[in-house]
C-alpha cells in the first residue's frame, strides 16, 4: 500500500506541474482538508474540493513550481521533501499527505511562510 500511496502523490505533483487540474483534483477526496501555514493571503485551512480549487487558482496566479525530491511513506502517510519556487525565490518545503481508499484526505504543508507572505501578501490584521 505504501508504494501505491507514493504513486498517487507523485501523480499529483506531475499533474500540478503540467497544469492538469482535472487529474489533480481527481486525486483528492471530496472532503479534502488542506492546511497552508503562515499569515500570507493564501494561508489557511481549506475544506472540500471547492475551497481547495479556489486556493489552487489563487496560488497559481504567481506560477509557483514545486519540485519533489524525496517521497517517504509510512502506512497511510506520504511525506514529500521538496523545493518550492515562486517569483524568483526558492525554499525547502515538506508536505505530509494522508491517503485513504486511493484518495488524499488531508495535506499539511511545512514551508517558508515568510516567502509566501512576500510573494502573496500578508493577511490584514482583523479590526478589534
Q: Is 126's pLDDT higher than 70? A: no
Q: Is 89's pLDDT higher than 80? A: yes
Q: What angle do CA 38, 43, 44 make, to 5 degrees?
A: 105
Within 8 A by CB and 6+ apart from 82, the residues are: 13, 66, 67, 68, 69, 92, 93, 94, 95
Taking only the tens place, the pLDDT of each residue in 59-79 is: 999 999 999 999 999 999 999
| Domains observed in the chain | 2-116 (3.10.450.50)
Rounded CA gap, 21 and 113, in Å? 25
Rounded CA gap, 66 and 17, in Å? 7
- The label of the residue with cell 504543508 reads 109
Q: Is 110 helix (H, G, I), strand (E, B) or coil?
A: strand
Q: What is the pTM assigned to this prediction?
A: 0.93
Amino acid at each position: 500500500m505504501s508504494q501505491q500511496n507514493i504513486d498517487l502523490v507523485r501523480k499529483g505533483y506531475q499533474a500540478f506541474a503540467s497544469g492538469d487540474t482535472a487529474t489533480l483534483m481527481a486525486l483528492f477526496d471530496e472532503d479534502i482538508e488542506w492546511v497552508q501555514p503562515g499569515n500570507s493571503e493564501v494561508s489557511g485551512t481549506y475544506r472540500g474540493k471547492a475551497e481547495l480549487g479556489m486556493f489552487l487558482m489563487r496560488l497559481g496566479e504567481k506560477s509557483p513550481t514545486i519540485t519533489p525530491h524525496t517521497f517517504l511513506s509510512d502506512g497511510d502517510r506520504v511525506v514529500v521533501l521538496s523545493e518550492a519556487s515562486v517569483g524568483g525565490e526558492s525554499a525547502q518545503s515538506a508536505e505530509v499527505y494522508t491517503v485513504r481508499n486511493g484518495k488524499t484526505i488531508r495535506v499539511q504543508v511545512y514551508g517558508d511562510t515568510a516567502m509566501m507572505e512576500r510573494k502573496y501578501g500578508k493577511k490584514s490584521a482583523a479590526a478589534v
